[in-house]
Structure 1
Amino acid sequence: MTDVQIDPLEAVTAEDAEALAGLMRQLSSHAPPLAQANFARIIAGSSTTMFVARINGRIVGTATMVLIEVASGSRVSIEDVVVDESQRGTGIGDALMRVAVAAARAQGAGKVDLTSNPSRQAAHRLYLRLGFKKRQTDVFRLELDAEEDRKTLA
């Protein structure tokens, strides 16, 4: 693996924000454009840790860990796992996931969940190799900005 450093993002520079926005575009064509202030707000959350992988100081990957404390037990959701296209297959995704899982364990989480687009087969192989199991579940979503949903729930 290339000489990569993985750490929690504690402050967001303009250069970091640009790199992260580029990664989000690689993750999803539907990702909203985010600015430095958006990323700063994300990392300010007490339950959220955004890990970044850097090579020579430049962000080339990220994974966000969200600790969820509920009555049925604490768990972690890992979100927005993405490695720059130019660095895929080099072990950075594996390293990011191992750091995030270790952090979840250190925070006392009982389980780690993540979702992944069915088209991301390489990511699926990584998750299975790391011990994740595919769950038989349905995911439900309510788009809060959709006009039809506002009418239904009004």
Structure 2
Amino acid sequence: MTIELIDQASNELVEAFERLIPQLSSSAPALDFNQISELVDQPDVYLFVYRGEPDLSQADAGTDTTAAGPILGMLTLVTFKIPTGTRAWIEDVVVDSEARGQGAGRQLVETATAYAKEVGAKTVDLTSRPSREAANRLYRSCGFELRETNVYRA
């Protein structure tokens, strides 16, 4: 199982988005190839994916068995500079329902947090609805602290 930083769109990503986005949001449509390209081509926007183990039972004789496993989760990290320093925000964390409870979310969050620090972010923020109890436990166990703040949306 590995975490990969994505730098270009692929048909595999399109298929992963079609499977994962409905598990994240009932109202957001999955992105197509061009939209994924636009996402990963943005400066300071980083798409991380979690890959499961390759299915070696599907390998034919003479086939490269070091192929990457399937994409089972993803998150987006955004970094930005403001007058008080470089900040980061984690968005759209999702792990396939079949892979939950196996450490994928933790690996994604910890990898993205470490990467944000590497690129100079002073803080990393994220939000989660209170009803997402497992996600909230995960974020607290990864060192995130609940802040008393109001979030406004226009």
Instruction: Map 1:40-79; keep pairs closer than 5 Å.
Output: 40-55=37-52, 56=54, 57-79=69-91
So what's the TM-score if we normalise by structure 1? 0.86
Give the one of 4, 11, 24 matched to 1:14: 11
- How many residues are matched? 139
Helix, strand or coil at the partner of 1:109: coil
Q: Distance in 2 between matches of 1:113 and 1:129?
A: 14
Q: Distance in 1 between matches of 2:33 and 2:16?
A: 10
Q: Distance in 2 between matches of 1:12 and 1:41?
A: 9
Q: Give the structure 2 partner of residue 29 of structure 1.
A: 26
Instruction: Map 1:133-148; keep pairs closer than 5 Å.
Output: 133-142=145-154
1:117 deviation in Å?
A: 2.1
Q: Distance in 2 between matches of 1:34 and 1:96?
A: 20
Q: Give the structure 2 partner of residue 89 of structure 1.
A: 101
Q: Give the structure 1 partner of residue 62 of structure 2.
A: none
Q: Give the structure 2 partner of residue 98 of structure 1.
A: 110
Q: Could you list the runs of 4 or more consecutive aligned residues of structure 1 that deviate by over 2 angstroms after TM superposition?
A: none
Structure 1 residue runs without a partner (length 5+) = 143-154
Q: Distance in 2 between matches of 1:123 and 1:96?
A: 12
Structure 2 residue runs without a partner (length 5+) = 55-68
So what's the TM-score if we normalise by structure 2? 0.86
Q: Percent of counterpart pairs with the same letter?
A: 42
1:116 aligns with 2:131: no
Q: Distance in 1 between matches of 2:20 and 2:107?
A: 17
Q: Distance in 1 between matches of 2:7 and 2:98?
A: 25
